[in-house]
Amino acid sequence: MSNTEGNGIVVTEPIHDLYLQMLIKLLEHNDPGASMSITLSTNSGVIYGQLVTQETWKGLWTEFLMAEGGVEAGVYGAFPDSVDSALTKALKEAEGSEQSEGDGLPRFVHLKSATLVAPATSRIALPFWRGRLDSVSGWSIGKPAA
């Protein structure tokens, strides 16, 4: 998608898959704790796992940071909420500007129990994964057969 600003400069914006965005949104609104199998094709390779909400992913990330943090576990555990707080503040400040993402649709996809299959490598198991939706070139419900 592109639009022309008043100065004649053409700004090209990434195109997100509306079906995938709506699937994520449906998961968030109907049952925030739910998950479903999904396979995504990205520039890095194919990744599959359980599609989860951002809140579920954030909880997994927090648990991981606290387990790995040692004496700083409390600081690391608070990091995801700190990021959310800073992002919320920045978005409120950007309201009304052309940089604002006002459609309410997700810009990221979150997986748990993920497996990345990259070219020239073996499968890489990941406890959780986050990626930009504009980097997803294709997707399918379910996961590849073993």
Q: What is the CATH number of the domain that holds 45?
A: 2.30.30.100
Tell whether 3 is covered by a domain.
Answer: no
Give domain status of residue 6, yes or no.
no
Contact yes or no for 132/114 (Cβ under 8 A): no
**pLDDT tops 80 at residue 114:** yes
* Residue 9 belongs to a domain: no
pLDDT of residue 4: 52
Evaluate whether residue 38 is within a structural domain. yes
Please identify which residue in the block is written with the tokens 């997986």: 111
Q: Which residue carries 């129990």 as its tokens?
A: 113
And the tokens for 2?
A: 């592109």
- Give the mean pLDDT of 50-65: 88
Residue 25 domain flag: yes
Collapsed DSSP state (helix, strand, coil) of residue 29: helix
Tokens for 130, please give them.
């986050």
Burial of 66 (0-12, 13-18, 19+ CB in 10 A): middle
Is residue 56 pLDDT above 60, yes or no?
Answer: yes
Beta bridge partners of 42: 45, 136
d(CA 80, CA 86): 10
Q: Look at 53 and 7; give whichever has higher pLDDT.
A: 53
Residue 135 within a domain: yes
Largest CA distance in the chain: 54
Please count the structural domains in the chain.
1
**pLDDT tens readout for residues 85-113:** 776 676 666 554 433 355 678 889 999 99
Q: Could you tell me the residue range of the domain that residue 61 belongs to? A: 15-141
For residue 113, what are its two tokens?
Answer: 């129990």
Q: Are 43 and 95 in contact (CB under 8 A)?
A: no
Residue 71 located in a structural domain? yes
What is the total residue count of the chain?
146
The dihedral sign for the CA sequence 111, 76, 118, 113:
negative
Position 8 in a domain: no
Q: What is the pLDDT of residue 97?
A: 43
